[in-house]
């Protein structure tokens, strides 16, 4: 793939930038970024990662926030295809991992349908990066034999997921962008049998110097949670949260 990315033919590399810090980006991701002609990047990519873009490369911002999209997803697809057809080396730069709530799969489908050559470079996803930085194992032989990654918006509809299964013990539940809907998520879990004193944590700006962690019982976390804001936040629910040095029992 390195040779194809170096060629004069149009090529798209969908790159996971990781959770923020440059030193949590993979060597392959950094290599592709430093040789790009065009970089199409998201909102949550850190400044220190963006600083690695070649000065002569074209930057295209396509960030999304709740209720605000700089460019619709179909427009992003069109950008990638158009630049690749012009013979350019295109990096689609995403926070975390492209295939974990990053819509990378949709972008790959769009490239395949247009016959555009591509590769996908994985990144450290927020669930593993932020949980590790907060001292919370995602799995533990005695506490959690599985972990589940979920989008926070699932709480909007009781029928979108098996909440009874999610309320069962022995698992770690990680909700991406779950801060805004914390109360709804907790209500769903409590109503399906989860104990209200189950440990839970909110990790904001995980792995970055500005990281903050609130860890306590889920019941108490509802009261202590910060207001939703521009900082990315991860909600983690499960017994392994007790292992965090930030955890405070009620």
DSSP track, the chain? -HHHHHSSS-EEEEEE-BSS-GGGS-HHHHHHHHT-SEEEE-TTS-HHHHTTS-TTSEEEE--EETTEESS-HHHHHHHHHHHHHTT-EEEEEESB-TTSSS-HHHHHHHHHHTT--EEEE----HHHHHHHHTT--S-BTTTBSEEEEEEGGGGG-TTSS-HHHHTSSSEEEEEET-STTHHHHHHHHHHTT--TT-EEEEEESTTSTT-EEEEEEHHHHHHHPPPP-SS-EEEEESGGGGGSTTB---
In the residue annotation, 42 being an active-site residue is answered as: yes
- Report field, pTM of the whole predicted structure over 0.75: yes
CA 14 to chain CA mean position, Å: 14
Residue 7: pLDDT band by 50, 70, 90 thresholds?
low
Distance CA 67, CA 114 (A): 29
In the residue annotation, 94 being an active-site residue is answered as: no
Distance CA 207, CA 123 (A): 14
Q: Which of 42, 94, 97, 205 is catalytic?
A: 42
Spell out the domains of the chain, with CATH numbers in brackets. Answer: 2-121 (3.40.1010.10), 126-243 (3.30.950.10)
Determine which of 88-92, 135-139, 158-162 has the lowest per-residue pLDDT on average. Answer: 158-162
Q: What is the mean pLDDT of residues 22-30?
A: 97
Who contacts 245 (Cβ-Cβ below 8 Å, separation ≥6)? 135
Residue 250: pLDDT band by 50, 70, 90 thresholds?
confident
Residue 232: pLDDT band by 50, 70, 90 thresholds?
confident
Q: What is the mean pLDDT of residues 195-220?
A: 96
CA-wise closest residue to 213 among 177, 238, 245, 183: 245
Q: What is the mean pLDDT of residues 70-81?
A: 93
Q: Which of 23, 51, 64, 157 is catalytic?
A: 64
Distance CA 247, CA 216 (A): 5
pLDDT score recorded for residue 226:
79
Plot region of 171 (φ>0 → left; ψ -120 to 50 → alpha; else → beta): beta
Q: How many CA atoms does the CB half-sphere of 182 hold within 13 Å?
A: 24
Residue 1 has pLDDT above 70, yes or no: no
Residue 64 has pLDDT above 60, yes or no: yes
pLDDT score recorded for residue 201:
97
């Amino acid at each position: 793939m390195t040779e194809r990315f170096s060629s004069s033919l149009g090529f798209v590399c969908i790159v996971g930038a990781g959770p923020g810090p440059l030193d949590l980006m993979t060597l392959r991701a950094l290599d592709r970024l430093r040789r790009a002609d065009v970089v199409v990047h998201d909102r949550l990519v850190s400044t220190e990662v963006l600083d690695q873009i070649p000065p002569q490369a074209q930057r295209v911002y396509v960030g999304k926030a709740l209720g605000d999209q700089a460019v619709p997803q179909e427009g992003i697809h069109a950008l990638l295809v158009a630049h690749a057809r012009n013979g350019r080396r295109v990096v689609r730069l995403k926070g975390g991992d492209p295939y974990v709530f990053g819509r990378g799969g949709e972008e790959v489908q769009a490239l395949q349908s247009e016959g555009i050559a591509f590769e996908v470079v994985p990144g450290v996803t927020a669930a593993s990066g932020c949980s590790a930085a907060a001292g919370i194992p995602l799995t533990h032989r005695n506490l959690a034999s599985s972990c589940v990654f979920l989008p926070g918006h699932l709480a909007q509809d009781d029928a979108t997921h098996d909440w009874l299964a999610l309320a069962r013990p022995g698992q770690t539940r990680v909700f991406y962008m779950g801060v805004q809907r914390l109360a709804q998520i907790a209500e769903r879990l409590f109503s399906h049998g989860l104990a209200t004193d189950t440990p839970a944590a909110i990790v904001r700006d995980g792995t970055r110097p500005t990281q903050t962690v609130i860890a306590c019982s889920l019941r108490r976390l509802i009261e202590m949670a910060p207001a939703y804001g521009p900082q990315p936040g991860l909600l983690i629910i499960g017994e392994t949260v007790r292992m965090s040095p930030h955890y405070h029992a009620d």
